Amino acid sequence: MKITAIEITHHRLPLDPPFNASWDTRPRTHFDATIVRVKTDEGIEGIASGDTMTGFAGHEPMFVGQDPLAIERHYRILSNIQFHYGRCWPLDLALWDLAGKIAGQPVWKLLGGLSDRVRAYASSGTLRAPAALADAAEAYLAQGFKALKIRFHRGDWRADVAALEAVRARVGDRLELMVDCNQGWRMSWDAYAPWSLKDALQVAREMERIGVYWMEEPLFRADRDGMRRLREMVDVRIAGGEMTREIYEFRDLIRDGCLDVVQPDAALVGGISGLRRVAAMAEAANLVFTPHTWTNGMGVVANAHLTCGLADAPFMEFPFDPPEWSLDRRDFPMRAPLTIDADGFVVLSDRPGMGYELDEDRLAATRIG
Ligand SMILES: [Mg+2]
């Protein structure tokens, strides 16, 4: 079998009302998705999404004519493209979708078949007043979630702690609570400084008191010494690595004792081919590996296959914060949204590949390139 073409299309879903992501100072008035299709001479097609494929144009001939199952070869080429141009990891995800379709097996089985399910945590994306956040937490519980991640981005961490306390007071121990501090990176247009170690330490002590499961991105991504010291000073787990680009950076973060929870996203970093290496490193160091998944539903599905297949994670991120971040928005390229079951698990099917299908009508209606 040979790859005959790689087709890339761009789509834009208008967001009205806009989505105010807590980590972004600009209201989001649209949500873009890029669809990657790998075509073959036998008519089987691999599909994926989750990043913009910026920098891929002109590199198609490196893949056309190749055996689609030479995934390690393709991974090395994509790593080179990332170094010289941009992140094009949805192509790796599309190749895994294709490999599953060729084998007649779901990707999670090709990766090791550890489980077909992982418990989801609801990953909120907005900042709400304490009472409204507590109401939202109850709604998550009613929908089956057993864990919730809330955002610390109100400008004054005491206000963030007040919101966290309101949730804990309302739900008690019925929800595990995670906190995302989002100090690891900034949007292109945001120039404000990240927290210092002493800033993060004050917040971490409050999280210990309230019983938070993990504290995510408490420091700038390069502050490895700060992460290591913070991890030693408090009991709360330290999570990070969602936008860390290189596999060797994960090697160093793990070797230096910076993290308890390792969180790369297969759509943004390394694809499945790269991140299964990181998952193995995390397992060898007795750390939790659980991907960041905040792209679109196809990216969530790809990360779910990776997590279920080989990672044995306690929870996986499930971006969901209705009404601002609904499944209809998050999963707009897909014919059916990814949901959780009554016990709060993402359950993957036995369909070959990733198991998702495109909503071609909606993709046609939202196409911008
Ligand atoms: Mg995060």
Distance 155 CA to ligand 1 centre (A): 17
pLDDT of amino acid 40: 98
Tell me which residue of 99, 97, 79, 98 sits closest to 89, measured CA to CA.
Answer: 79
Q: List Cα–Cα distances, 14 to 137, 189, 358, in angstroms.
A: 27, 21, 18
Q: How many CB atoms lie within 10 A of CB 99?
A: 20
- Summary mean pLDDT of the chain: 97
Query: What would the mean pLDDT of 42-70 be, rounded to a whole number?
Result: 98
How many Å lie between the centroid of ligand 1 and the Cα of residue 355? 26
Mind listing the domains of the chain with CATH numbers? 3-104+360-365 (3.30.390.10), 110-347 (3.20.20.120)
Distance 321 CA to ligand 1 centre (A): 14
Gap from CA of 235 to ligand 1 centroid (Å): 19
Percent of the chain with pLDDT over 70: 100
Taking only the tens place, the pLDDT of each residue in 251-293 is 999 999 999 999 999 999 999 999 999 999 999 999 999 999 9
Q: How far is the CA of 73 from the centre of ligand 1 (A)?
A: 30
What pLDDT is recorded for position 156?
94
What are the structure tokens assigned to 291, written together? 């991907």
The model's confidence at residue 56, banded by pLDDT at 50, 70 and 90, is very high
Average pLDDT over residues 298-303: 98
pLDDT score, position 111: 98
Ligand 1 centroid to 108 CA: how many Å?
24
CA of 212 to the centre of ligand 1 (A): 15
Contacts of 68 (CB under 8 A, 6+ apart): 1, 2, 3, 38, 40, 46, 95, 98, 99, 102
Q: What is the distance between the alpha carbons of residues 324 and 21, in angstroms, rounded to a whole number?
A: 9
Question: What digits encode the pLDDT tens for the residues 8-42?
Answer: 999 999 999 999 999 999 999 999 999 999 999 99
The number of residues in the chain equals 369
pTM of the full structure: 0.98
What is the tens place of the pLDDT at every residue in 341-367? 999 999 999 999 999 999 999 999 999
Output the CA 273–ligand 1 centroid distance in Å: 22
CA of 292 to the centre of ligand 1 (A): 6
